[in-house]
Amino acid sequence: MSEQNQTDPLASADAAMEPTLDWALAADERDPLRGFRDEFLIPSSPARPDGRMVYLAGNSLGLQPRGVEQAVREEVEDWAHLAVDAHLEGRHPWYSYHEQFRDALGRIVGANPGEIVVMNSLTINLHLLFASFYRPTNDRFRIAIEPTAFPSDAYAVTSQIAWHGLDPGTSLVRLRPREGEMTLRTDDIERFIEREGDSVAILWLGAVNYLTGQWFDMERITAAARARGCLVGWDLAHAAGNVPTRLHDCGADFAVWCSYKYLNAGPGAVAGAFVHERHASNPALPRLAGWWGNDPATRFQMRPEFVPRPGADGWQVSNPSILAMAPLRISLEQFERAGIDRIRAKSVRLTGYLQFLLTRSLPEAVSIITPGESAHRGAQLSLSIAGDAPRVQQTLRERGIVCDVREPNIIRVAPAPLYNTFADVWAFADALAASLRE
């Protein structure tokens, strides 16, 4: 999880950050990625001087890239003019549509193209992969998750345990932080694995925790767990497009992610899944099969036997959802031009500037629960508010600033590098301080 070497024009300016709008505007002028902001549709707000909302909720839903409407229109037009022939003759042939995403996503999540498949939604993919990888035995039957796992993950894992006739009360382990702390220490996770790993079938963590914004040390944790015989899966919902991960190199067994947060592919956008090649090349691995996971050479021969396609594609159950995939094509074109390393480099500075401002203006009633070191967080700071957090959020909205609240008292602020600016960050910090004073 090494930090990128900051060699771009902003790097030298970071050492002399100033809590002023003039400094923020100057930093935006030097930003190598500044042109991408104009490629997004930013909602309007009459409360803002420039008439545009300060949108800091990309960790819930990314903004719409301008090319999305045209991309969807092209598929609708091909449907109208070509009908079934668009599977092979469309501008973007539907039959192999999902295959075009492999290389770009591989560069984002750190995987070989054959280890990636784009399909379904995150939780559906989680269930499909757990059907293959959660094979509990009398000795190794537990699933370990983080204390603040995203609820859908916790529901899915609990139901998987129950599906196998086991008791979630004894088979589900929630790792706990130390007393008085909100985030997990890597050392403590490693000690748990060393102490109890022989009973753990799967270690399942969110690479970036949705609530605290903590980015786990995926390499160390994966290595420790696999050394004890545990399978390791990662939820990249808040990591894909946010932080650079190395799924293949770190040895993760499997992973899933959605595409509607930092990947900006729209509400309910098609999700992704990763299966390490050591598993993806094993046709005997049990799975819940469907016809689109079948070998393309015999897929339309309608044979009764299922012969899984090599690679992660072998976990597909249905043909691609074209209209849901079209926005992802536009998003990944942007990521290819920007580069995940440059996105991460800006994110470190942008979130660092937010931290710089908040630590100088926040009263004691507000604290940052996200790790202070950039190597342990993505594009998010989570704030614990001692007072009425929903009211603070509403006050910010009245000022044209959008972030979100997680009950009972956490405000999550996510400056997304492709479309957020240093001026956005400054505006949030200024408005938050004013809201708290009021």
* Interval 227-264: pLDDT, tens: 999 999 999 999 999 999 999 999 999 999 999 999 99
Using one digit for the tens of pLDDT, what is the confidence trace for 148-178? 999 999 999 999 999 999 999 999 999 999 9
Per-residue pLDDT at 378? 96
pLDDT over 70, % of the chain: 97
Using one digit for the tens of pLDDT, what is the confidence trace for 175-192? 999 999 999 999 999 999
If you average pLDDT over residues 94-104, what whole number do you get?
Answer: 96
Look over the chain and give the mean of its residue pLDDT values, rounded to a whole number. Answer: 94
- Burial zone of 346 (CB within 10 Å; 0-12 exposed, 13-18 middle, 19+ buried): buried
Tokens of 115: 């280890």
Using one digit for the tens of pLDDT, what is the confidence trace for 50-74? 999 999 999 999 999 999 999 999 9
Range 280-285, long-range pairs (CB < 8 A, 24+ positions): 280/114, 280/115, 280/310, 280/311, 280/312, 280/314, 281/310, 281/311, 283/307, 283/308, 283/310, 283/314, 285/132
Using one digit for the tens of pLDDT, what is the confidence trace for 256-295? 999 999 999 999 999 999 999 999 989 889 999 998 999 8
pTM of the model: 0.94
Cα separation, 111 vs 279, in Å, equals 13
Confidence of residue 2 (pLDDT cuts 50, 70, 90): very low
Say yes or no to pLDDT of 29 above 80: yes
Using one digit for the tens of pLDDT, what is the confidence trace for 100-158? 999 999 999 999 999 999 999 999 999 999 999 999 999 999 999 999 999 999 999 99
If you average pLDDT over residues 363-389, what whole number do you get?
Answer: 92
Q: Are 221 and 189 in contact (CB under 8 A)?
A: yes
User: How far out from the chain centre does Cα 225 lie?
Assistant: 22
Say yes or no to pLDDT of 34 above 70: yes
- Where would I find the beta strands (DSSP E) of 265-336? 272-275
Cα separation, 295 vs 27, in Å, equals 52
Confidence of residue 365 (pLDDT cuts 50, 70, 90): confident
Nearest to 257 by CA among 272, 241, 275, 242: 272
Say yes or no to pLDDT of 309 above 70: yes
Confidence of residue 301 (pLDDT cuts 50, 70, 90): confident
Cβ neighbour number for residue 254 with a 10 Å cutoff:
27
Say yes or no to pLDDT of 414 above 50: yes
**413 contacts: CB under 8 Å, gap ≥ 6:** 56, 354, 380, 381, 382, 383, 403, 428
pLDDT over 90, % of the chain: 88
Spell out the domains of the chain, with CATH numbers in brackets: 11-60+339-437 (3.90.1150.10), 72-336 (3.40.640.10)
**96 contacts: CB under 8 Å, gap ≥ 6:** none
Per-residue pLDDT at 361? 80
Q: Are 373 and 141 in contact (CB under 8 A)?
A: no
Per-residue pLDDT at 437? 81
If you average pLDDT over residues 319-326, what whole number do you get?
Answer: 95
Tokens of 294: 């079948």
Say yes or no to pLDDT of 389 above 80: yes
In three-state secondary structure terms, 65 is strand
Count the alpha carbons within 13 Å of 165 in the hemisphere toward its beta carbon.
Answer: 3
Per-residue pLDDT at 15? 60
Question: Higher pLDDT residue, 361 or 226?
Answer: 226
